[in-house]
RNA sequence: AUACAAAUCGUCUUAUCGCUGUUUGUUUACAAAUGGAGGAAAGUCCGGACACCAAAGGGUAGUAUAGCGGGUAACCCCCGUCCAUCGAAAGAUGAGGACCAGUGCAACAGAAAGAAUGUACAGAUCAUGCUGUAGUGAAACCAGGUAAACUCUAUGCGGUGCAAUGUCAAGUAUACCCACAGUUAAGUGCGACCCGUGCGUUGUGGGAGGGUAGGCAGCUAGAAUGAUUUAGCAAUAAAUCAUCCAGAUAAAUGAUAAGAAUUCUCUAGGUAGAAUACAGAAUCCGGCUUAUAGAUUUGUUAUUCAC
RNA sequence: CGGGUAGUAGCUUAGUCCGGUUAAAGUGCUGGUCUGGGGGACCAGAGAUCGGAGGUUCGAAUCCUCUCUACCCGA
């Protein structure tokens, strides 16, 4: 699998995002938190759509929010081959919960941990 | 050495892996080529362009501006200049029209602060607040002061904003629109009020559509940028030549590695370590205001030293 | 993109429109008295240069300009 993260893989539907906050389950790996739900996706041939989010309350400057989101996207791009959806389709949203700005290495390490816990969570259910 | 003014830059290079606009080629997802944040993109404080709202009405109210002259598409902007205040100077700052149109206001002190009146001393006088000085106060004998007090004068301002607006496809209830004919009472649109003006309710005929989630246009070639010349004290304008320089939409512009540059710290051979500001386009321009590590250039002021 | 509200003792509010003598009140805090002690009541006291900067004025919490923070509303 190629290590890219293009427009088609981003979660954009407002309805699915509302569904996530109502019915989604979550796994955590500091400083990240992933909310996910099993649902049908608008794009054909994809097993997983995701999106990233940073709280405006915790990071007031647009510059720092942009930087954190870029780091999260980069980490997801490099590590998404670890995701195993077992043939089901999932939508998810990754949230950043820390007030501090971390380095790329730390975010990537957390992303690996997060994806492993996600795999465990959907296997056990 | 010090201070003042004006202007500029505000990390760079290479490799690998990605994101995104456009073009081309295969083909419907890849490949190649080529673009991809700022001086403030910010605050949203002013002024416009553009679009729609009945035709873009009249008056009142409201609101903004305020020496004089010029610049500009326009301005609460910019330039020149006079005056006032601050500074040793260069220079900086200024909502700087009118209290002989009217109304109001002035704590404390003071005889008296506005249909005013009278203390002490001296002088003058037939006599007297008649004259001067003192005293209170920010302002005191006069038809004073105060308009960032109401107000007056002059000038400007219709409203809403690209989620404007147009268009395409999907699709369902009669709440929508147009034309004609009759009706003029309530009501309602035109930012507020008054005037004025449009609509109205019924019938006939025709067109089509609310809400929801989308695609496309608007959407970036412009009061554009750079250079030169000319006019002008200047702001700025004109001419010629050259250039194309972000268009995302749950929202691109990034990550890693190596090297270089600048600054600081330790040590004094040079190595080692740390840091590199403020901050991220969302219709587009012209300003203002605020944030900003550090670096550079030009001009000017007074003092000292040297020649 | 557009519009609005608030900021004053530790906390909650007056005063701001229409400038003036010591910025007012409740609660909380500190000390004292009453009680064997606590609670409670009573008495006394401290605590603010009015979010920040500049301007107008003789004088500014109040008027004007800029700015910061928090919150709300509309499309």
**A45-56 tens-digit pLDDT:** 677 888 888 887
Q: Where are the beta strands (DSSP E) in chain A?
A: 25-29, 32-38, 48-54, 90-96
- Quote ipTM for the complex: 0.79
The residue among A125 and A117 whose pLDDT is bigger is A117
Q: How far is the CA of A27 from the C1' of C9 (A)?
A: 48
- Whether A90 is in a domain gets the answer yes
- Residues near chain B strand, CB within 7 A: A 2-7, 10-14, 17, 51-53, 61-63, 66-67, 69-71, 73-74, 77, 103-105
Range of the domain at A95: 7-124
Q: Which nucleotide is nearest to A74 (CA to C1')?
A: B255
- Whether A1 is in a domain gets the answer no
Element (DSSP H or E) covering residue A14? helix A14-23
The CATH number of the domain where A99 resides is what? 3.30.230.10
Question: Which pTM value belongs to this model?
Answer: 0.79
Q: Cβ(A104)–Cβ(A74) under 8 Å?
A: yes
If one counts the domains in chain A, the total is: 1
Q: Cβ(A56)–Cβ(A19) under 8 Å?
A: no
Q: Which nucleotide is nearest to A6 (CA to C1')?
A: B19
- Whether A24 is in a domain gets the answer yes
Per-residue pLDDT tens for A30-85? 888 888 888 776 665 677 888 888 887 778 888 888 888 888 888 888 888 888 87
When pLDDT is cut at 50, 70 and 90, the band that residue A89 belongs to is confident
Chain B bases near protein Cβ (<7 Å): 17-20, 30, 37, 213-214, 249-256, 279-281
Question: Facing residues of A53 across strands?
Answer: A95
- Whether A2 is in a domain gets the answer no
């Amino acid at each position: 699998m190629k290590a890219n993260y293009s427009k088609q893989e981003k979660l954009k539907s407002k309805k699915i995002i509302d569904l996530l906050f109502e019915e989604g389950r979550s796994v955590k790996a500091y400083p990240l938190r992933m909310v996910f739900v099993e649902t049908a996706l608008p794009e054909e041939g994809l097993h997983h759509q995701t999106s990233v989010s940073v709280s405006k309350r915790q990071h007031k400057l647009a510059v720092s929010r942009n930087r954190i989101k870029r780091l999260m996207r980069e980490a997801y791009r490099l590590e998404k081959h670890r995701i195993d959806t077992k043939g089901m389709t999932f939508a998810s949203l990754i949230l950043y919960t820390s007030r501090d700005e971390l380095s790329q290495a730390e975010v990537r390490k957390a992303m690996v941990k997060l994806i492993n816990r996600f795999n465990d969570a959907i296997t056990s259910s």
